[in-house]
Chains A and B, each alone.
Chain A
């Protein structure tokens, strides 16, 4: 009793301190949120803005750890296909409505509708049911030990508000859908929408009734979010003091920002790995000069290529030290990662050349590399560097760079021989990587695997992960799969990207590995 009183007193004191000391955070990044409807787009900047206003049952904090949000705790019940979530008491939406289990059930059902962009993340959910006002159970098709990791961007809306405003279907972007929820919000989050002009300016005000008072710093009382597309202008706006905090700092400007008085750069490894894929399944490649066979089909060639890429040189020259060279296609936070897998292969062009010659290509061969030029940090420059490195190993690479809108369909349609791809792992678990990049290409899985690699036994192992509840067994399977991926050189990993945020001196804000700044965690050091 006493303790509760104390906590309440501290919370009130903090709340008072927070309002007395009104701080506006002017924040800029390259792109705007696409919609305010929390289930209509599955996209980084859209989720990031939504996170300030809406909340899920749980969320990732600034270090990427899962922490409670609208649920206070959760666990698998005796039945391994049922998860039980206990909900937070006394939470209300911005409009004053009380938060209950009905809202959770409603929001999950909404996120599973055909027009929802979040439905794939809930593909394993068979049913969600209310136990009582503050308890829900999620029933999955088969055990799903990783369910919570799929829920970090799954926002809860108020049932009454959404129904009243005819927004029970998520905004149907493809079919000209426009709804109330795409332009208005009613979440439980730390900030309330004040005004918004798309692509121009979004203003949020601190929620005076936020349940997290005292749990989070909550030192920002107003957020003014402005997309600034041109990198030079974004930097200029930070240098001239017109904004306080920017994301998407171009690597060539990092030093300049860091050296400016009153500004600093924070960085951290990003949840995104960059790598190359090779079409090793085809009988013959479209773009090579070897008739009737596919040089990529030979593992020696792939090993040699892996050797020929000098990741340290790419880091130094192309990335200005802003990358974390890796030998495996997953970032370090992912379950399944270890240092042995991550070890970068020794680069040696001479040995690589000999290996390619020994594999039956004494004169090397020619192939085309497809590369995006507007998707990853310095993507085209990395490809150019790799063209040179493979050239030394005897492989003549013709580079074809194009915008992402033209590049990704090549991978989707599997009409590329050699391509660059970057991958983030929102669930922070290897299974996600395997499902999309390692499993044989099929309608459901392997959708981003354009390597033509198929191995039925491996596919079975991958599928088994989804329902394996024994952590030790599961981890062992994960490791087995990785060892095969590494031994077969399925991909040529390059590096993990490093994220940089630029901000005013005096702002304490750790870089979040998913590039999602949650402003409620921001504090000022003076």
Chain B
């Protein structure tokens, strides 16, 4: 088991190194940060001097190696935009993104599974069909549109929920949390729905089709023949056996939620790392972009590892020997 984990971690570091290199190769095409960093009055000499100091004249591999060399020591450099250490910026922004991702994921998984089971059991029910039809919206509408629509209805027209920001936060053991204040929770509702809607419908549709598959199998029929209650059959036997593919998808989607909350964060001015990333792209803030992409890489590698380990828990056949 430990050998397995070590092997996966090593594979993960190779992935990260490659991600970093591709990112650095791409930064060249994003434009030049110099214009954003100097006012319009700057002379050509000022511009040339700054480019030299930032090391922008170095070839990409050299820039990349310099970055990696510092990154492994935990130094991600300093933002070109704010002049603040990147690590500090990301640590400050991370709670907002993680909380949003966590709430979205919980909502998506909970409602996804419940509704998936429901629509599978009541396949021909009116309500189940309504749920199935509405779920198409979640799959087909782009995130920013859902966000803007929700803002329009619940913030502008009804005035129930805030349209932007994270509300008040409270400090819980050094973690700025919005989950413990009333305004923080109110602010969480719309972004969490926006971010999790796609994943919820995805989980729901997956659970439903897997359930339908499983419910047709012989052992379910035998279980019913044995006179087990519906609940025991549906949840104890059927649901458990649908979970392997569902966990894979959830794992991948949780990564997506955390890493690509960019659109939702922009629409709701949610002060997380996604918004930071968008700002950095516009400013060509290379240190922040590089650190963010590495962070996303780490996140995916970790989640995939966790998912692999979870398989073993759910399905004994997959246990590594």
Most chain A CB within a 10 A radius of its CB, from B32, B54, B159, B163: B163
Q: Please, which residue of chain A has its CB at the minimum distance from the CB of B41?
A: A120
Interface string of A177-216 (1 = CB under 8 A from B): 1100010000000000000011111000000000000000
A229 at the interface (CB under 8 A from B): yes
- Bound complex: CA A175 to CA B78 (Å): 8
Q: How far is the CB of B92 from chain A (nearest CB, A)?
A: 8
Q: Please, which residue of chain A has its CB at the minimum distance from the CB of B31?
A: A405
Contact partners of A408 in chain B: CB under 8 A:
32, 35
A173 touches B83 (CB 8 A): yes
26 intermolecular pairs with C-beta atoms under 8 Å apart: A35-B82, A35-B83, A41-B39, A42-B41, A171-B83, A174-B37, A182-B83, A199-B271, A200-B165, A200-B166, A226-B164, A229-B266, A229-B278, A236-B148, A242-B155, A374-B282, A405-B30, A405-B31, A405-B283, A406-B29, A407-B31, A409-B35, A412-B47, A443-B45, A444-B44, A447-B43
B50 at the interface (CB under 8 A from A): yes
B31 touches A230 (CB 8 A): no
Q: Please, which residue of chain A has its CB at the minimum distance from the CB of B166?
A: A200
B162 touches A242 (CB 8 A): yes
B80 at the interface (CB under 8 A from A): yes
Q: How far is the CB of A196 from chain B (nearest CB, A)?
A: 12
Given contacts A35-B82, A178-B84, A198-B84, contact A448 B37 (CB under 8 A): no
- Bound complex: CA A172 to CA B50 (Å): 11
Q: Which of B17-47 contact A (CB under 8 A)?
A: 29-47
Indicate which residue in B43, B155, B156 contacts A120 across the interface (CB closer than 8 Å): B43
A40 at the interface (CB under 8 A from B): yes
Given contacts A197-B271, A412-B35, contact A120 B163 (CB under 8 A): no
- Bound complex: CA A121 to CA B40 (Å): 11
A34 touches B41 (CB 8 A): no
Interface string of B67-95 (1 = CB under 8 A from A): 00000000001101111110001001000
Size of chain B's interface in residues, with CB distance under 8 A?
A: 55
Contact partners of B44 in chain A: CB under 8 A:
412, 443-444, 447
Chain B residues packing against A (C-beta within 8 Å): 29-47, 50, 53-54, 77-78, 80-85, 89, 92, 148, 151-152, 155-156, 159, 162-166, 266-269, 271, 275-276, 278-279, 282-284
- Bound complex: CA A42 to CA B38 (Å): 7
A237 at the interface (CB under 8 A from B): yes
Q: Please, which residue of chain B has its CB at the minimum distance from the CB of A226?
A: B165
Contact partners of A443 in chain B: CB under 8 A:
43-45
B156 touches A117 (CB 8 A): no
B83 touches A233 (CB 8 A): no
Q: How far is the CB of B285 from chain A (nearest CB, A)?
A: 10
Q: Please, which residue of chain B has its CB at the minimum distance from the CB of A114?
A: B49
- Bound complex: CA A232 to CA B144 (Å): 10
Given contacts A172-B83, A405-B283, contact A236 B30 (CB under 8 A): no
Q: How far is the CB of B104 from chain A (nearest CB, A)?
A: 18
Given contacts A199-B275, A229-B269, A230-B267, contact A409 B165 (CB under 8 A): no
- Bound complex: CA A188 to CA B159 (Å): 39
For the complex of A and B, list the 10 residue pairs with the smallest distance between their C-beta atoms, beginning with the closest: A405-B31, A42-B39, A176-B78, A406-B31, A120-B41, A173-B83, A408-B35, A200-B271, A409-B32, A236-B163
Indicate which residue in A177, A241, A423 contacts B159 across the interface (CB closer than 8 Å): A241
Given contacts A174-B53, A174-B54, A229-B275, contact A403 B267 (CB under 8 A): no
Q: How far is the CB of A48 from chain B (nearest CB, A)?
A: 14
Contact partners of A171 in chain B: CB under 8 A:
83
Q: Which of A82-122 contact B (CB under 8 A)?
A: 117, 120-121
